[in-house]
Amino acid sequence: MHASLYASLPEEIASRLGLEKAYRGRQIFEGLHKRGQDFASMTELPAALREKLTAEVPLFTSSLSDTLRDEDGTIKLRIRLADGASVECVLLEADTGRKTACLSTQAGCAMGCAFCKTGALGFRRNLEASEILEQFYHLARGRGTINNIVFMGMGEPLENLEALRKSLAVFTHPLGPALSPRRMTVSTCGSAPGIISLADEGPAVGIAVSLVSADEEKRKALMPAARRWGLAELKEALLYHQEKTGKRLTLEIVLLKGINDGADDILRLREYARGLDVIVNIIPWNPVEGLDFQEPSEAAVQLYYSRLERSGIPAVRRYRRGRKIGGACGQLGEV
Model pTM?
0.94
> Pick from 255, 260, 249: which is nearest to 216 by CA?
260
Domain ranges of the chain: 10-56, 63-325
Q: What is the mean pLDDT of residues 214-225?
A: 96
Residue 3 in this model has a pLDDT that exceeds 80: no
334 pLDDT band (50/70/90 cuts)? low
Contacts of 266 (CB under 8 A, 6+ apart): 304, 307, 308, 311
Share of the chain above pLDDT 90, in %: 84
Does residue 329 carry a catalytic annotation?
Answer: yes
The residue length of the chain stands at 335
- The pLDDT, as a whole number, for residue 72 is 86
Residue 335 in this model has a pLDDT that exceeds 50: no
Residue 70 in this model has a pLDDT that exceeds 60: yes
- The pLDDT, as a whole number, for residue 14 is 96
Question: Does residue 91 or residue 97 have the better pLDDT?
Answer: 91
Question: Does residue 95 or residue 314 have the better pLDDT?
Answer: 314
Does residue 109 carry a catalytic annotation?
Answer: no
pLDDT tens string 133-166: 999 999 998 788 899 999 999 999 999 999 999 9
Contacts of 317 (CB under 8 A, 6+ apart): 282, 301, 305
90 pLDDT band (50/70/90 cuts)? very high
Measured between alpha carbons, how far is 145 from 99 in angstroms, rounded to an integer? 7
Residue 64 in this model has a pLDDT that exceeds 50: yes
- The pLDDT, as a whole number, for residue 2 is 64
Average pLDDT, the chain: 93
Among 88, 159, 252, 334, the active-site one is 88
Among 102, 109, 189, 329, the active-site one is 329
Residue 271 in this model has a pLDDT that exceeds 80: yes
Q: Which fold has domain 63-325?
A: TIM Barrel (3.20.20)
Residue 129 in this model has a pLDDT that exceeds 60: yes
